[in-house]
Amino acid sequence: MSPAGDDFASRVVAVVETIPPGRVMTYGSVAAAIGSRSSRGVGQVMAWAGSDLPWWRVVRASGLPPERHEQRALEHYRVEGTPLRQGRTGVLRVDLERAAWSP
């Protein structure tokens, strides 16, 4: 049994909690922040503990929120004033150039 706060999941949660409103991190950046390259691992933690976290502040490298959750995320972006950009197909995504954040 590993010490609490020392496992992969706990590290991911700790990083996500530091993201301020209006800013975002990509799955890959969160992984890098804890010395890992497992963006998918971060996704698995979010699926397990996302409901207790500002999950909308963690997006894909393309600036898109997790699949099936785009609508819910968009409402938070509107409230927090997160910088957005519109893609060629009309899809709204986070402007990583302006919203990217690192702990």
Partner DNA sequence: TGGGTGACTAAGT
Partner DNA sequence: CACTTAGCCACCC
By CB under 7 A, name the one of 13, 15, 16, 46 that touches DNA: 46
By CB under 7 A, name the one of 15, 16, 42, 94 that touches DNA: 42
- Point out which span in 16-24, 57-65, 75-83 binds DNA (CB under 7 A): 57-65
By CB under 7 A, name the one of 22, 41, 74, 76 that touches DNA: 41
Number of residues in contact with DNA under rule CB under 7 A: 33
- Based on the shown chain and the rule CB under 7 A, indicate whether residue 23 belongs to the binding site for DNA: no
Tell me which residue has tokens 């409901």: 51
- Asked if 17 and 11 touch (Cβ cutoff 8 Å), the reply is no
Footprint of DNA on this chain (CB under 7 A)? 7-9, 26-28, 36-47, 50-51, 55, 60-62, 65-67, 69, 85, 87-89, 91
